[in-house]
């Protein structure tokens, strides 16, 4: 039962809830608002529609406005003539899945297939690939984030309820005019056939949109494609210098502070649900819990193997401590050295804790998963690859996001060394821990710190 709860928590938190919350509140890894002087962006979901999309294209042409259409693949397949017209008239085409179904209810492979199918339909008609994607209802998951290098995720800054006919054109126009300003990304719909929408709602939207386009023209505002807005925003933000904090370490932006706050809040919830323990409540580096190992056998370098059914002490880095170390580190090398020294101090505490708690006598090994896996061998850990599967893939994405937050070089480090950002399984037999770090054991002596730090510096890319 506990295992089911754990997997449920992992899936809901890592796969759906946290990515959705972060993207909605802070625009993390998605584009939802621009920085422009005289432009806004009209975006239309769910089409093309045989009745309303042609009317919309006529209206856009009348006011010389450009827009972005996030099309449903099944609809695009039925109306290739409309896809061609959208492209020929200078608008942008994006993907909105092959069917209008939330990504939370589909496996990563299914989402990938739907995106690929829709992209192929667009390419077969226009001869051009699209790299813009809006998930249905704007609900992102962990693997939507992982597609950042392939697809630009696009949400919106203003939504008006235009899929409901009862809102009416006048009220809809007032809502849109209230938000009409540079940088806004409008979410509208040129099809009313999806779940929860009204078939005739686009007619009301079209009438309201004409009022908005008239007003935009009067104010000197023009509607542009989403790719143009993204490019213009990037150009506008380019001159901004990176602020430095104490000791030359980059200062945190409000955005990163918000991410850290949510991340630590989630950690507290995780600790509460699974009753994690620590050897040092005031200044912890590890938290842990006892559980039964259920994976494939892991051969240990000391001999023997960790097998399904064995009791393990599952280790979790303290995220607040991890962040504190990362935010004060000036480089990759400095971060690695600080982490290794902290682990070195904690392992004797862990050995003594296990020795003093008879309830842990059946625990066979320490067990953890980490991207920070250069150096654990010197303590007696076996480092090995995670078995392929959902857990390995989701862990890789999550830990890369984590590294962007804690690492001194942040996103740049992850981008430049993506091939090295691979989570590994680290395992140490309890007997080895007690022998090397227990009070009565030989207590392993590491190299002189200067030699040790030099070895780390030589093995870790900056």
Q: Which residues are catalytic?
A: 45, 189
45 sits in which H/E element = strand 39-45
Report the alpha-carbon distance of residue 175 to residue 164 in Å, rounded: 14
Structure tokens that stand for 303 in this block:
């001999």
Report the alpha-carbon distance of residue 230 to residue 183 in Å, rounded: 10
Structure tokens that stand for 202 in this block:
């686009």
Compute the half-sphere exposure of residue 339: CA atoms within 13 Å on the CB side of its CA. Answer: 26
Within 8 A by CB and 6+ apart from 269, the residues are none
Report the alpha-carbon distance of residue 134 to residue 94 in Å, rounded: 7
* β-strands 185-189, 39-45 pairing: parallel
* β-strands 311-317, 286-292 pairing: antiparallel
Structure tokens that stand for 283 in this block:
């200044």
Report the alpha-carbon distance of residue 91 to residue 452 in Å, rounded: 59
* β-strands 424-429, 382-385 pairing: antiparallel
* β-strands 382-385, 363-370 pairing: unpaired
């Amino acid at each position: 039962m506990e295992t089911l709860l754990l997997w449920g928590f992992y899936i809901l938190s890592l796969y759906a809830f946290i990515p959705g919350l972060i993207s909605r509140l802070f625009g993390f890894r998605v584009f939802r608002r621009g920085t422009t002087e005289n432009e806004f962006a009209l975006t239309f979901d769910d089409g093309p529609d045989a009745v309303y999309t042609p009317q919309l294209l006529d209206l856009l042409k009348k006011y010389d406005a450009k827009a972005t259409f996030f099309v449903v693949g099944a609809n695009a397949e039925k109306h290739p003539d409309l896809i061609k017209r959208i492209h020929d008239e200078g608008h942008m085409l994006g993907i909105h899945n092959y069917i209008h179904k939330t990504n939370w209810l589909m496996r990563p492979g299914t989402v990938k297939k739907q995106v690929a199918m829709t992209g192929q339909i667009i390419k077969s008609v226009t001869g051009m690939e699209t790299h813009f994607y809006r998930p249905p209802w704007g609900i992102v998951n962990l693997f939507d984030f992982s597609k950042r290098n392939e697809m630009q995720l696009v949400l919106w800054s203003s939504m008006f309820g235009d899929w409901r006919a009862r809102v009416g054109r006048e009220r809809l126009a007032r809502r849109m005019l209230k938000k009409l300003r540079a940088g806004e990304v409008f979410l509208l719909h040129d099809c009313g056939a999806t779940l929860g929408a009204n078939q005739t709602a686009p007619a009301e939207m079209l009438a309201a949109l004409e009022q908005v386009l008239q007003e935009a023209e009067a104010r000197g505002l023009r509607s542009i494609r989403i790719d143009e807005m993204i490019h213009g925003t990037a150009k506008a933000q380019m001159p901004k210098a990176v602020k430095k904090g104490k000791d030359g370490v980059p200062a945190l932006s409000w955005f990163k502070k918000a991410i850290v706050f949510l991340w630590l809040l989630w950690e507290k919830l995780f600790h509460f649900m699974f009753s994690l323990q620590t050897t040092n409540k005031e200044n912890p580096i590890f938290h842990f819990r006892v559980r039964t190992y259920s994976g494939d056998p892991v051969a240990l370098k000391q001999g023997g193997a960790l097998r399904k059914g064995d009791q393990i002490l599952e280790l979790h880095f303290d995220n607040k401590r991890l962040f504190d170390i990362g935010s004060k580190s000036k480089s990759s090398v400095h971060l690695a050295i600080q982490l290794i020294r902290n682990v070195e101090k904690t392992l004797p505490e862990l050995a003594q804790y296990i020795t003093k708690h008879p309830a842990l006598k059946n625990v066979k090994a320490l067990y953890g998963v980490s991207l920070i896996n250069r150096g654990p061998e010197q303590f007696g850990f076996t480092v090995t690859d995670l078995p392929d599967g959902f857990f390995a893939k989701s862990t890789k994405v999550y830990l890369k996001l984590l590294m962007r937050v804690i690492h001194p070089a942040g996103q740049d480090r992850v981008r430049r060394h993506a091939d090295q950002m691979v989570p590994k399984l680290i395992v140490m037999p309890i007997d080895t821990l007690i022998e090397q770090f227990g009070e009565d054991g030989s207590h392993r002596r590491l190299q002189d710190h200067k030699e040790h730090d030099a070895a780390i510096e030589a093995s870790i890319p900056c």
